[in-house]
Amino acid sequence: MIRKVFFCNSLALLFFALAGQASAHFGMVIPSSNIVDQQQKQVELNLSFSHPFELIGMTMESPAAFFVVTDNTKTDLLPTLQKASIMDHTGWKTTFRFKRPGVYHFAMEPKPYWEPAEDVSIIHYTKTIVAAFGDDQGWDTPAGLPTEIIPQLRPFGNYAGNSFTGKVLLNGNPVPFAEVEVELYNQAGTYTAPSDYHITQVVKADERGIFSFTCPKPGWWGFSALNEADYTLKNPQGEEKGVELGAVLWIYLDEYTAK
């Protein structure tokens, strides 16, 4: 009987461990479009902390920071945020109107999220890039985040099936052999995964911190490079615990359309 109970408990622990691996957290900054023209001069942006493929939302406090950078000018957008329901949980939204051509980097710093299952606090520095009125200069310029992914492929005007390439930075330096989690925002709930392994895919960067991944379907794709911070934060019980830093980038891939 003791062996049977031990075996069952071991299976349960293995199940929860595998489930935890499959369900990756992603900071999300999703605009209504990543290209702006004269017919559509504004975008709506939704901010959340979620499981994008499974469409499982998580409650997110008001971010610590939210801003846009273009032409080396940083504009604070935190006061514009309004509470919203995203995947049935608390998220945030705003509307941004573009007045001039440029490439706009929208970036969010969330408040630390304590994850008891992983025994760490999580901070996902999350960004997305929007091109306005035909400008395409500056898309590979860092937004000044503590950790971020710098596109090596122009992150707009791309088709599903393209290979996205990015460079992982931590404190401004490349991260050799960084592990990058990749997930499709299954926004319409169209797709199912053949196994838990297919929900969050993983690619390793090379010695220069550069990685590539071919995105097979249209839609929003998230890339999350995870590293351990060189500091700790207190958990709800007041204990010093490690911090997981995520550099998250969202890009959109279009379908080819028939005439």
Q: Where are the alpha helices (DSSP H) in 63-197?
A: none
Provide the number of structural domains found in the chain. 1
The answer as to whether 138 is a domain residue is yes
The answer as to whether 17 is a domain residue is no
How confident is the model at residue 163, as a pLDDT?
Answer: 97
φ/ψ of residue 258, rounded to 5:
-75, 155
The model's pLDDT over 118-168, given as tens digits with 9 standing for 90+, comes to 999 999 999 999 999 999 999 999 999 999 999 999 999 999 999 999 999
The answer as to whether 135 is a domain residue is yes
The answer as to whether 206 is a domain residue is yes
The answer as to whether 179 is a domain residue is yes
The model's pLDDT over 62-117, given as tens digits with 9 standing for 90+, comes to 999 999 999 999 999 999 999 999 999 999 999 999 999 999 999 999 999 999 99
How confident is the model at residue 23, as a pLDDT?
Answer: 63
Domain boundaries, position 149: 22-253
- pLDDT greater than 90 at residue 230: yes
- State the Cα angle at 126 between 222 and 113, rounded to 5°: 105
What's the whole-number average pLDDT of the chain? 91
Q: Which two tokens stand for residue 233?
A: 């934060």
As a whole number of angstroms, the distance between CA 214 and CA 53 comes to 17
- pLDDT greater than 70 at residue 187: yes
Range 189-201 average pLDDT: 96
Strand 163-170 relative to strand 73-76, pairing: unpaired
Contact 50, 30 (CB under 8 A): no
The answer as to whether 190 is a domain residue is yes
pTM: 0.90
The answer as to whether 13 is a domain residue is no
As a whole number of angstroms, the distance between CA 152 and CA 213 comes to 12
- pLDDT greater than 70 at residue 53: yes
Rg of the chain (C-alpha set) = 19
Range 221-238 average pLDDT: 96
As a whole number of angstroms, the distance between CA 128 and CA 28 comes to 9
